[in-house]
Structure 1
Amino acid sequence: MSKLGTLTIGQAPRADITPILDAVLDANLPRRHAGVLDGFSRSEIERDFAAEPSRPVLITKLLDGSAVVIDRARTEKAAQRKLAMLEDEGCSTILMLCTGHFESLNTEKARLVEPDRILPPAVAALTQGAQLGIIVPLAEQISSEAGKWAPLGRAPFFAAASPYGGDGASVTEAARGLSGRGAEILLMDCMGFVERHRREAAEAGLPVILSNSLIAKLVSEIV
C-alpha cells in the first residue's frame, strides 16, 4: 500500500500546509508528517542550526507559531537523516515541504519529491515566456535561490515578503511592487505561503501561482 511521508524543515505537523494537501489527496491515503526540527527547543535550534553570515538560509515555522531562520547546509544534513527515518517507517513517497534548493538529498527506495526540482520547469512551461515575479520570504534568498530559475525564458523579478509576518514588506506590497516593475504572473516561492497570501498577492491584479498548491496537485497524481 502507498504511504505518503512529508518532511518540513521546521516542526510537524504544519497546520498551515496540511489542509492544502488534504484537499487533493485521497482521504484513505496513509500519511506520516515529520519535521527536521521536531523535538528541538528554540535554544537548541539556535545552537545547532544557527544562520551564518554569507551562507544560504531558510525560514520555517515552529509548532508555537513562531518563525526561525536556519542555515541551509546544516538543515540539509539533518533532513537526510529524517528521510531515512520516513523510509524505515514504510513511506513509499516522501514530499519535501520546502521550496529551497538542496544539493544532495536522496532516498533508497522511496520516491522523493523535491519542489525546487519540479517548480522551475513546470512554471516555465506554464508561463511560456511571460515575465514572472517571484516572492521569496527573505531578501537573502533572492541571490541564494535565484540559480534554480534558469529554466525560465526570461530572468524573473524578485521581491521579499515573509509568510510568517515580521517587519518587512507585506505580501500585497511585494506583489504590487513586482507588478509595477512589469511582472505579468506572480509565484509564491515558499511552502509557507497559503491561500490567504494568494488572495493578498492577487490584489496586484495578476495571476498568482501558489507553490504548495501546485506541488500538492502534482503529487496527488503519483500516490
Structure 2
Amino acid sequence: MRERVLGTLTIGQAPRPDVVPIIDRYVSADIRRIHRGVLDGLSHTEIAARYRPEGGEPELVTRLQDRTEVVLSRHRMKDGVQQALTALEAEGCDAILLLCTGTFDGLDCKKAWLVEPDHIIPGMVAGLVERRQLGVIVPIASQIGSESGKWRVLHHPPIFAAASPYAGTADALVDTGKELKSKGADAILLDCIGFTEHHRQALLPLGVPVILSNAVAAKALSELLGG
C-alpha cells in the first residue's frame, strides 16, 4: 500500500510548534507529514516588501520562527499560498491542510484534497450553536470587518472581539472572553489557527463552551484521512 502524505501550509513559517501537536493528536502517525510555510526562508525585510498590507485592505496575522507576530496582506498572500499548494502537490501530498482560518477565494489543487478551515468551521459551528449567540475572538481588530462575511450562516450575527494568540497575554484573552460573555455570548470561538489548547483552558472558567478552530480542522481532516 502506498504511503499517504499530508501537507500542512502555514501563511507564516514552518513548522508551527504551536499547531503541529494538535494535528498529531487527531491524525494517524502512519501518515507522513510535510510542513511548509509561505514565508519560509524570508527575512523581515523581504516579508514586508512582498506582503505588507496597504490602504486598509484585509489583513491576516501569523507567527514567524523567531516568535514575532507579522501582519500580512490577504490579497498579496493569496498568490503565495497558491504557489506553495502547487509545490506541496508536486511533493506527493494526498491532502493539504491550510493553517489559516482567513478566507481565500479560488485556491485550487489538481489532485490533492485541499482542506480550508474557513470552508469547514462556519457551517459546523452554526450547527452546534443553532439559535444561541456566538462570540468570536479574532487575532486582530481589522478582521472583525474583513472576515465577518463567512458568518452569514449563523442565525444571529456573532459578537466580535480581538485578542492576539501571539503577542497577547492570557489575562488579555480572559478579559476579552469576559467582555463577550457580558454581551450575551453563549459560546466562544477562537478564530485563528494560532490559538491553542492553552488558550482554551484559560477561557473555560467563564462557564461557556470554547471552540478551538485548529482542533475542528484537525478532526475534520482525520475523518477525511480515515482516522
TM range, normalised to the smaller chain?
A: over 0.9
SS of the aligned residue for 1:221 comes to: helix
SS at match of 1:118: helix
Alpha-carbon distance, 1:53 to partner: 2.2
Q: What does residue 85 of structure 1 align with?
A: 87
Pairwise CA distance, 1:204? 2.1
Q: Match of 1:50?
A: 52
Matches within 5 A, 1:59-70: 59-70=61-72
| Partner Cα separation in structure 2 for residue 91 and residue 123 of structure 1 | 28
Which of 99, 102, 120 lines up with 2:101 in the alignment?
99
Residue 29 of structure 2, aligned match among 27, 36, 43: 27
Computed over aligned residues only, the root mean square deviation of the Cα atoms, in angstroms, reads 1.3
Q: Deviations over 1:69-119 (max 9, x none)?
A: 010011111000000000000001000000000011111111100000111
Cα distance, 1:166 vs structure 2: 4.3
Indicate the residue corresponding to 2:220 in structure 1.
218
Counting matched residue pairs gives 223
Aligned to 2:38: 36
* 1:83 aligned partner, one-letter code: L
In structure 1, the partner of 2:210 is 208
Instruction: Structure 1: state its 5+ residue gaps.
Output: none
Greater shift after overlay, 155-164 or 199-208?
A: 199-208
**SS across alignment from 1:58:** strand
1:1-223 equivalent positions in 2, closer than 5 A? 1=2, 2-166=4-168, 170-223=172-225
Deviates more, 1:7-16 or 1:23-32: 23-32
Give the Cα–Cα distance (whole angstroms) in 1 for the partners of residues 33 and 168 of structure 2.
32
Q: Aligned partners of 1:24 and 1:195: how far apart in 2?
A: 14
Residues 33-55 of structure 1: CA deviation (Å, up to 9, x unaligned) = 00010010011001111111210
Cα offset, 1:207, TM superposition: 0.7
Q: CA deviation at 1:211?
A: 0.4
Alpha-carbon distance, 1:201 to partner = 2.0
* 3-state SS in 1 of match to 2:29: coil
Contact 1:172 1:203 in 2 (8 A): no
3-state SS of paired residue (2:211)? strand
Distance 1:213 1:10 in 2: 19
Taking the aligned partners of 2:162 and 2:44, their CA distance within structure 1 comes to 24
CA distance in 2, matches of 1:134, 1:64: 28
- Equivalent residue of 2:157, what SS? coil
| Separation of aligned partners in 1, 2:52 and 2:41 | 16
Is the 1:9–1:37 Cα contact (8 Å) retained in structure 2? yes
1:11-67 deviations in whole A, cap 9, x for unaligned?
A: 000000000000111111111000010010011001111111210000001011111
Superposed structure 1 runs of 4+ greater than 3 Å apart: none
